């Protein structure tokens, strides 16, 4: 029987394949924040997201959510990073990061 990590990976792979099959739309959909009438509360939502992505927080997910999030970024050729080499148990999660050299926030 597959362990929980393999089951999660299989589920995420299935989701990713099904998501890729969604048709393109002419007009981009509204964001979740807009649908909830919370578009002005982006900072609050960033704080919530960073809490759940941080393995050191007591949410009970450990590194699972962070690893699932990072694995969704892997197919992006614009990223020059090998996620397999990342020690997801030893990370610092921040809700925002200012890049002083470029002035661009990721």
- How much is the CA Rg of the chain, to the nearest whole Å? 16
Residue 59 pLDDT more than 90?
Answer: yes
Label residue 103 by pLDDT band (50, 70, 90).
low
pLDDT of residue 60: 94
Q: What whole-number distance in Å separates Cα of residue 106 and Cα of residue 99?
A: 8
Q: What whole-number distance in Å separates Cα of residue 47 and Cα of residue 20?
A: 28
Statement: the pTM of the whole predicted model exceeds 0.75: no
Query: DSSP letter at 24?
Result: P
């Amino acid at each position: 029987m597959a362990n929980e990590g393999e089951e999660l990976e299989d589920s995420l792979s299935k989701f990713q394949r099904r998501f890729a099959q969604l048709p393109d739309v002419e007009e981009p959909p509204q964001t979740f924040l807009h649908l909830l009438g919370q578009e002005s509360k982006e900072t609050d939502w960033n704080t919530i997201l960073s809490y759940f992505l941080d393995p050191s927080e007591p949410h009970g997910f450990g590194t699972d959510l962070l690893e699932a999030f990072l694995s969704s970024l892997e197919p992006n050729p614009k990223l020059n990073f090998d996620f397999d080499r990342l020690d997801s148990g030893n990370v610092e999660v921040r809700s925002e990061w200012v890049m002083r050299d470029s002035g661009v926030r990721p």
